[in-house]
Amino acid sequence: MHFNLTDNFTFNDNPPQLAYDRARLALLFDQIAHHARETGGEPKAKRIDTLVKNESLTRLDLNKDDSLLDLGCGMGRILFEVAPVVRWGYGVDISKVSLASARARATEEGHKNLLFGHGAIEAPSLEINIAAAEINKMLLLWSLHHLPDNLKGEALTGLVRKLRKPGRIVIGDLMFFEPPDKHKLLWDRVGYDGGLTDHPSTADFLKRLLMRLGGAVEVFRLHPLAGVIAASWE
């Protein structure tokens, strides 16, 4: 299901192109979180969601010595899944409604190694001191595509600087392996809105960017419009 700031909507072939607006996205995801609360949970995952999530977790290779930062954590679904196998899990999201749900669940279920804070990919330290947390694994799952390419570069540069080495960043997301206009019938399957709020990059752009930042990079194509990239620093 798609949402705009006031009601449900569907995408046409030529949606208006909107610049990145963090406040607008926060409001959008607050609405999605409210809807999830009212309907008893997050929407059922599509097959590609599960494939990308599973591949991303495989490439993170988490263990009890890891401190994981989930950027764009939403209601914390991934962090609750991996809480038993990491030392610390930190979730950052722009939606305060989503974070409230995540914190309530963490308290209810007794997850003492999970911490959630308000922030964004390009500004993750608004409530959590990322540098002090000594995070060695970072996950960006279905989140980085909301930033235009220039902001992706700035955000990833900042994240690499904060990453405790040896460390790893995994991106599981919309990314173009082929021209998206060739696959318009698949847009809805991967949640691509045609440019309304989404700014996916090509997989090659992301690979080259991470390599320029010194990472050893692997790319995993799971769909013409989605995949996983894992970058490691020694």
Considering the domain boundaries, does residue 5 fall inside one? no
137-141/167-174 β-pairing: parallel
**pLDDT attached to residue 168:** 98
Considering the domain boundaries, does residue 120 fall inside one? yes
Q: Pick the more confident residue, 90 or 40.
A: 90
Q: Mind listing the pLDDT tens digit for each residue in 10-54? A: 333 444 456 777 877 777 777 877 766 666 655 555 789 999 999
Q: Mind listing the pLDDT tens digit for each residue in 181-221? A: 999 999 988 999 888 889 999 999 999 999 999 999 999 99
> Which residues form the domain of 157?
22-233
pLDDT at residue 3 is higher than 70:
no
CATH code (residue 62):
3.40.50.150
Considering the domain boundaries, does residue 2 fall inside one? no
pLDDT band per the 50, 70, 90 thresholds, residue 157: very high
**pLDDT attached to residue 39:** 62
**pLDDT attached to residue 7:** 33
**pLDDT attached to residue 41:** 58
Q: What is the pTM of this model?
A: 0.87
Considering the domain boundaries, does residue 7 fall inside one? no
pLDDT band per the 50, 70, 90 thresholds, residue 118: very high
**pLDDT attached to residue 195:** 86
Considering the domain boundaries, does residue 94 fall inside one? yes
Quote the mean pLDDT of the chain.
88
Edge-first strand order for the sheet with 137-141 is 114-118, 88-93, 67-71, 137-141, 167-174, 226-233, 216-223
Does residue 19 contact residue 25 with C-beta atoms inside 8 Å?
no
Considering the domain boundaries, does residue 16 fall inside one? no
Considering the domain boundaries, does residue 69 fall inside one? yes
Q: Count of residues for the chain?
A: 234
Q: Mind listing the pLDDT tens digit for each residue in 160-173? A: 999 999 999 999 99
- Percent of the chain whose pLDDT exceeds 70: 88
Considering the domain boundaries, does residue 92 fall inside one? yes
pLDDT band per the 50, 70, 90 thresholds, residue 224: very high
- Percent of the chain whose pLDDT exceeds 90: 74
**pLDDT attached to residue 2:** 31
E strand or H helix that includes residue 222: strand 216-223
DSSP code per residue over 152-221: HHHHHHHHHHHSPSSEEEEEEEE-BSS-GGGGGGGHHHHT--TTSS--PPBHHHHHHHHHHTT-EEEEEE
Domain count of the chain? 1
